[in-house]
Chain A
Amino acid sequence: EAGVVQSPRYKIIEKKQPVAFWCNPISGHNTLYWYLQNLGQGPELLIRYENEEAVDDSQLPKDRFSAERLKGVDSTLKIQPAELGDSAVYLCASSQPGTGETDTQYFGPGTRLTVL
């Protein structure tokens, strides 16, 4: 079974440029998450989708970040314009509907963004 796929793996851009990240979750996983991981820190949630619906986007900086999950499968996270402080690893994860207590999230390899 294929895992969570993310692309690109690495991206280098200049500040004020736009950038987009793509995620394909594990087949059958209805819940999709985008996390931000700064160097030396644990991941922090940006947004969570249940199918096509963004059910928790309270931590997403909406002035420059946007996300979509068309047809409840693949998802795209966009930053426009990028700032120096956006340099980090962007992780996508997915999970099956569960009881809550047994929810396990499966993570992709991440996209490492460097903003110059």
Chain B
Amino acid sequence: KQEVTQIPAALSVPEGENLVLNCSFTDSAIYNLQWFRQDPGKGLTSLLLIQSSQREQTSGRLNASLDKSSGRSTLYIAASQPGDSATYLCAVNTGRRALTFGSGTRLQVQP
């Protein structure tokens, strides 16, 4: 059974800092990996999707990497802003077309 772990569970940083969120998964047979953002009381917004054949994806200040063989992904956020404060969820698609999620990293960016 696929298990997804995210570290740290919570993170507080001053504005402008670069930061890295970590995600690990136990079964490397995945179709893709996605990073989502969830604001309090809201649904999930997809940030980046990395296919199993890809190593990284970039969108603006966000960069996600994937090392399938070691079962790891990182989400890099450059020059963090208070508006980045949210919970970030990592999810893997193992081909059942449903996602297995981690518990998330709750990020607080202090002005």
Residues of A within 8 A of B (CB): 4, 31, 33, 40-45, 48, 56, 91, 93, 95, 100-110, 112
Q: Which of A42, A45, A48, A102 contacts B102 (CB 8 A)?
A: A42
Residues of B within 8 A of A (CB): 4, 31-32, 34, 36, 41-46, 49, 51-53, 89, 91, 93, 95-99, 101-104
B4 CB contacts on chain A under 8 angstroms? 42
When the two chains form their complex, are residues A100 and B97 in contact, meaning their CB atoms are under 8 A apart?
Answer: yes
B97 CB contacts on chain A under 8 angstroms? 31, 48, 56, 95, 100, 103
Q: A101-B53, A112-B41 are in contact. Are A56 and B98 (CB under 8 A)?
A: yes
B49 CB contacts on chain A under 8 angstroms? 102, 104
Q: A42-B101, A42-B104 are in contact. Are A105 and B46 (CB under 8 A)?
A: yes
